[in-house]
């Protein structure tokens, strides 16, 4: 009998499939399509201290084997989430992850403090947003800047703390080590790649913000390599993501060292992709005689 359950630090997941922040809202809309409680977890839409309207102009742009986005962290703010979304979120029988971003260190601290006594299971601290002018990216490039924000947030919360890393970091392995040194309970990676699209007829960038975040199958081989490098160099668990669109992709990330995997862009292609990936992993395990995912995790 295949057991899909995994333990991420002290948190138990019924299966390793988590819906990535920014692609699943707070789960309410997808729950109208299928029972999302069959998933292992959901990472909320990225929350900032104050409500954000997001970026102007084009927000999503299709690319070969991928997608670019410049949403700009549109969200109701942490308090808006608590007041209007948390009731639904807290009743879900899965691991509930609050993704938190910010433009300043103070924003991160105040946002997490507001979430401290709320019914969530984990904080995913986003220090890696390339699609906003102020937020995330400044903290996700240099190791010592990341060290400060992780240290300060760790000091004010007892919730499991996962740090979401940028593939644009100067040294992603070094950054993961810094996060571990400062008390992070886990690492999630990779976020989108900083990218550019140009409208040749208008002779200007497609996005008002000029640069945007590239995701989807196009980034998978690079994301897989980074997950492998990081998981080999830290002792805390990793959530791997980047172009996962099938059970095969998910299994590759687990073999590269991921404890859990996150699915993002694929939700826009197939809203039920999470269920298909869970089913595919289970079928693979049965066919291969694998009882638990521990048997294949990090085998490379």
Helix (H, G, I), strand (E, B) or coil at 156: coil
Rounded Cα–Cα distance for residues 264 and 18 (Å): 9
pLDDT at res. 140 = 84
pLDDT at res. 138 = 64
Would residue 129 show up in a list of annotated catalytic residues for this protein?
yes
> For 88-131, where are the E strands, in sequence order?
95-100, 122-126
pLDDT at res. 215 = 98
**Domains of the chain, earliest start first:** 6-53+74-192+216-295 (3.20.20.70)
Tokens representing 39 are 């998933």
pLDDT at res. 128 = 79
pLDDT at res. 248 = 98
pLDDT at res. 182 = 98
> For the chain, where are the E strands, in sequence order?
6-8, 11-13, 17-19, 41-43, 60-63, 66-69, 95-100, 122-126, 161-164, 186-189, 193-196, 198-199, 204-205, 211-215, 238-241, 260-263
C-beta of residue 43 within 8 angstroms of C-beta of residue 123: no
Active-site position among 129, 212, 236, 239: 129
pLDDT at res. 103 = 84
pLDDT at res. 134 = 46
The structure's pTM equals: 0.96
Torsion angle (degrees, nearest 10) of CA 238, 244, 249, 254: 10
**pLDDT tens sequence across 50-96:** 999 999 999 999 999 999 999 999 999 999 999 999 999 999 999 99
pLDDT at res. 63 = 97
The owner of tokens 């009743």 is 91
Strand-pairing partners, residue 61, are 68
pLDDT at res. 136 = 46
pLDDT at res. 104 = 86
Instruction: Centre a 10 Å sphere on the Cβ of residue 199 and count the other Cβ atoms it contains.
Output: 12
Q: What values do phi and psi take at 151, rounded to 5?
A: -60, -45
Q: Which segments of the chain have a pLDDT < 50?
A: 130-131, 133-136
């Amino acid at each position: 009998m295949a057991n899909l359950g995994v333990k991420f630090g002290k948190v138990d997941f019924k299966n390793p499939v988590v819906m990535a922040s920014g692609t699943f809202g707070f789960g309410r809309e997808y729950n109208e399509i299928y029972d999302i409680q069959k998933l292992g977890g959901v990472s909320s839409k990225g929350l900032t201290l104050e409500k954000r309207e997001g970026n102007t102009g084009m927000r999503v742009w299709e690319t070969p084997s991928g997608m670019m986005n410049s949403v700009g962290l549109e969200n109701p703010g942490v308090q808006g989430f608590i007041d209007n979304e948390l009731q639904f979120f807290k009743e879900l029988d899965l691991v509930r992850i609050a993704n938190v971003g910010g433009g300043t260190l103070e924003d991160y601290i105040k946002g997490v403090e507001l979430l401290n006594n709320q019914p969530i299971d984990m904080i995913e601290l986003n220090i890696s947003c390339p699609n906003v002018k102020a937020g995330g990216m400044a903290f996700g490039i240099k190791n010592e800047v990341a060290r400060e924000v992780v240290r300060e947030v760790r000091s004010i919360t007892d919730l499991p703390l996962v740090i979401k890393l940028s593939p644009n970091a100067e040294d992603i392995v070094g950054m993961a080590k810094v996060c571990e040194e400062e008390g992070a309970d886990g690492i999630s990676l990779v976020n989108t790649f900083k990218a550019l699209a140009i409208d040749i007829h208008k002779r200007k960038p497609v996005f008002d913000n000029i640069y945007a975040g590239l995701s989807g199958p196009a980034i998978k081989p690079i994301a897989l390599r980074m997950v492998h490098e990081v998981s080999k160099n830290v002792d805390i668990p990793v959530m791997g993501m980047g172009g996962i669109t099938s059970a095969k992709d998910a299994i590759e990330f687990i073999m590269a060292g991921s404890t859990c995997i996150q699915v993002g862009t694929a939700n826009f292609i197939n809203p039920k992709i999470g269920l298909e990936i869970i089913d595919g992993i289970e079928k693979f395990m049965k066919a291969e005689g694998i009882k638990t995912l521990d048997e294949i995790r990090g085998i490379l």
